[in-house]
Amino acid sequence: MDKGIVWWRKAATPKHAYLALLLIVGACWPLKNILEFPPLASRDFGTFWVSGHAIRAGIDPYNVQAFKALGDGLLGKANYNFTYPPHTLFLFLPLSYLPPLAALLVWNVASAALLWWAAKPWLPKGMPSFVPLVVPGALINYNYGQTGILYSALFLMAFRPNGIAAAILTMKPQLGILVAPALLRDRRSLIVAIVATLVLIAASVVAFDNWPEFIRHARDVQGKSLVDFSHPIWLFKGTTPAIGYGLWGWAVFAMGAAFILARNYNVFTAATAAFLISPYGLQYDMAALCLGSAVVLYSRWEEMPALDKTCASLAFLSPVIVAYATTWAIPPILLWALLIQSKWSDGLRLRIKCRGLGFPSFSVEPTPAVP
């Protein structure tokens, strides 16, 4: 009992209490959606599960009409639209052999376990290891059955660096591209990433033979939808500046984020900058970003002024804020948060120089946090 009291007194510090409050506030909206228990047909995982059945039935998952007809027959009427590159079918095909709810449970548990393992090396001493699993960007995934938890886990792993994780991260290249500088610092990991990516693509060509169909779908269906951003749902799920501010607004935010990132590049500044530089990102992709905000709050609590804590807190809650304030509110929050993270965390300054015949050379130098 005495040991329990001592532990409680050590844990019940202001930063622990504030972190607990943030987690509770961030959990309210995702838990509400989870408890409503929507039918599987209306969850994104329904599309993933149907994609495996499409391959087994010899149906092209990028044929919008045929794929929707299959999904309507298997799970019920919904807006089925498979947008991921063919090599992701290696993930979804095995799940189609399970009943849909069992497959969703396996998917969520496996993704969460990978995120828990991948996040452990990045947690400051004393931060509970369950935090990555209950940040808002992670909780939203449990309802949708989306790939955001897997993406965040792979992003954290790729920064160790890990070439295999980087190769699988090509499932979301628009967000995963910012791991490239981390790989450039380790030639072996870079080579592994390139070879593994080529192997995945070659294997998917042999197994599924639908890359031309994916490219046409990405250009004519998904690409058109992203360019138009005509559906109102984008404004309440999208978190990148292109969705709310258009091409020119996106350019401004992207250039600002690239400048800040080049001055302090680390796993969490990159996770935040991805949602300013990429044209496309949604709130269920933000688990690593949320974790980065929690980490900087927890590790620099004593030194950070109240205004910086407020900024980091808003970034932490951004997957929930977008549902109420629309995507317009998110890019300014994230750009501000990127400044705060670059100020309060160690990283690397990225430099690209041209020498000799004009070939660029890549160099880095340490960038310490504020003392």
Domain boundaries, the chain: 17-367
Is residue 213 within 8 A of residue 62, CB to CB? The reply is yes
Residue 217's pLDDT is what?
Answer: 84
Q: What is the pLDDT of residues 260-276, one digit of tens each?
A: 999 999 999 999 999 99
When pLDDT is cut at 50, 70 and 90, the band that residue 349 belongs to is: confident
Residue 348's pLDDT is what?
Answer: 79
When pLDDT is cut at 50, 70 and 90, the band that residue 352 belongs to is: low
Residue 367's pLDDT is what?
Answer: 62
DSSP per residue, 264-325: SB-HHHHHHHHHHHSS--BGGG-HHHHHHHHHHHHHTTTTS-HHHHHHHHHHHTHHHHHHHH
3-state secondary structure of 347: strand
Residue pointed to by tokens 């269920």: 284
Residue 206's pLDDT is what?
Answer: 95
Residue 247's pLDDT is what?
Answer: 85
Q: What is the pLDDT of residues 32-85, one digit of tens each?
A: 988 888 888 889 999 999 999 999 999 999 999 999 999 999 999 998 999 999
Among residues 367, 137, 134, which one has the least CA distance to residue 272?
Answer: 137
Residue 104's pLDDT is what?
Answer: 96
Averaged pLDDT for residues 138-144: 94
CA distance 45 to 155: 21
Residue 110 scores a pLDDT above 60: yes
Residue 371 scores a pLDDT above 60: no
When pLDDT is cut at 50, 70 and 90, the band that residue 5 belongs to is: very low
Q: What is the pLDDT of residues 291-307, one digit of tens each?
A: 999 999 999 999 999 99
**Over the chain, what is the mean pLDDT?**
89
> Is the link from the previous residue into 161 a cis peptide, with omega within 30 of 0?
yes
When pLDDT is cut at 50, 70 and 90, the band that residue 194 belongs to is: very high
Distance of CA 241 to the CA centre of its chain: 16
Residue 8 scores a pLDDT above 50: no
- Beta-bridged to residue 351, according to DSSP, are 363
